[in-house]
A and B are shown apart, each in its own frame.
Chain A
Amino acid sequence: MEDSIDEVNHMAEQSILLEAKNIVKDYGQGRVLDDVSLQIHKGEVIVLIGPSGCGKSTFLRCMNGLEQIQSGQIVLDGEVITEGKTDWPSVRQKIGMVFQNYELFPHKTVLDNVILGPVKVQGRDKKEVTKEAEKLLERVGLLEKKDAFPRQLSGGQKQRVAIVRALILKPEILLFDEVTAALDPEMVREVLDVILELAAEGYTMLIVTHEMQFAKAVADKIVFIDGGKIVESDTPEKFFTQPKTDRARRFLNTFIYEKETGGEKL
């Protein structure tokens, strides 16, 4: 009997790709993440939302070691990566990340930006990688820009290149840190469309965003964070229509605008 329960547990664990266990992160005096735990299964798209400074970006950055955690565990593919000396470079090849400010390398062309990782980090053949890079660039509609420098691209184009740059390393999971926050409104769509496509292809993703409509469309699960804690997590259908907590309700209300009904109360 016990055996079979163990087996069931084991099965469930197997499909967990990345797990954060009781993550605590302090910045000086303040506690930014307070005992945050989250499981991300293979193929799952989780969207983290919450007010500015709630710790959602920090949580993302802890997952690939850009921020050090004070306590807790991060488990990737069933292996605890935060015990002993972590080989972050190899972990990070499995955990891709796209940043708010693109952070393309300004001294390299679009193509060189994309192939630098696979060639230098993974030691792959440059010709082969170039072919692959061109295919990916074509997919996001930027093949004709391959010899351009980042400064010659629009924000939306830069961000699409940044996504390709992360994709070409064939990561097991992608982290998106407010990737449309620095974009002009008309460019938001082209970037979000790429992410929606990746979701449809079954990529595992952890996304921090302020685009609620997008969150609703892309997420399998919404995780609402406030004050460094997970306040609520649910399916987007439930979260956006009937949030369980008062805090989430108030947060969602800040996105609703109603026309002033005139005169009486202000």
Chain B
Amino acid sequence: MDTEFIAEYIPLYVEASRLTISIGLIGIVLSLIVGLLIAFIQYFKVPVLRQIAAVYIELSRNTPLLVQLFFLYFGLPKAGISISSEGCAIIGLCFLGGSYMAEAFRSGIESVGKGQEESALALGFQRSQVVRYVILPQALSVSIPALCANMNFLVKETSVFSVVALADLMYVAKDLIGLYYKTDEALLMLVISYLIILLPISILAALLERRLRYAEFGN
């Protein structure tokens, strides 16, 4: 193991981690927004949008991110739309994550009984108030473990971004291997980098889950 090599190239990994984290974070936030929006569209059974959402979910969940990125990066320019590497990465991640987040929110919303909605309506709440004060708070606590798992998943998916020429962690590792044949060192640093990014998310998720279990509502 060449420790000197490792020490020399750590800054490259730090730089790449920064990119992975920032794009991952933006992608996660956008996925959460898209997911919540779609969950609402399904909950309120909005005509037309509801069908579009269903098609989107199937499309997003049944195609690999790699293929989605190819489409954005190589396909769209042929139609006259060209998007930067970062743009492709963010849109791709959000396109993939949105459907997963939507499903997580949906399962949370569905776990809140119909009776809760009815009792709130019977008190004179508007439907939007029912969602805000009664359904969402309960749904979120059920959804959180799934939402955390999705975040973890999305960060891991960033490892394919090198195909749109982004210098992310995977890209740096491949580059170093190609240049210096230091396969062991490059891969070790890659694994450690991902662990440093992902472990906190997993630990946070576990903590949250435990707290939620203690605060379990039940009737």
Contact = CB atoms under 8 A, between A and B. Distances in A.
B217 A92 contact: no
Interface in A87-128: 88-90, 92-93, 96-97, 99, 101-107, 116-117, 120-122
Contact of B218 (A89, A90, A106, A116): A106
19 contacts: A66-B118, A89-B121, A89-B124, A89-B125, A89-B126, A90-B124, A92-B123, A97-B122, A101-B115, A103-B116, A105-B119, A106-B219, A107-B141, A117-B123, A120-B125, A121-B124, A149-B217, A150-B217, A151-B218
A117 B219 contact: no
Interface size class of B (residues with CB under 8 A): 20 to 34
A243 B61 CA distance: 63
Contact of B219 (A66, A90, A150): A150
A166 interface: yes
A64 interface: yes
Contacts of A64: 122
Given A92-B121, A105-B116, A106-B219, 6 more contacts: A93-B123, A104-B119, A116-B133, A121-B124, A150-B219, A165-B123
Contacts of A106: 138, 217-219
Interface residues of A, number: 30
Interface string A41-74: 0000000000000000000000010100000000
Interface of A: 64, 66, 88-90, 92-93, 96-97, 99, 101-107, 116-117, 120-122, 149-151, 158, 162, 165-166, 169
Interface of B: 113, 115-116, 118-126, 129, 133-134, 137-138, 141, 216-219
B124 A99 contact: no
Nearest to A171: B124
Contacts, number: 74
Contacts of A165: 123
A90 B129 CA distance: 14
Between B116, B122, B124, B218, the greatest number of chain A beta carbons within 10 A of the residue's beta carbon is seen for B122
Contacts of B217: 106-107, 149-151
A236 to B, nearest CB: 27
Nearest to A117: B123
A121 B138 contact: no
B17 to A, nearest CB: 38
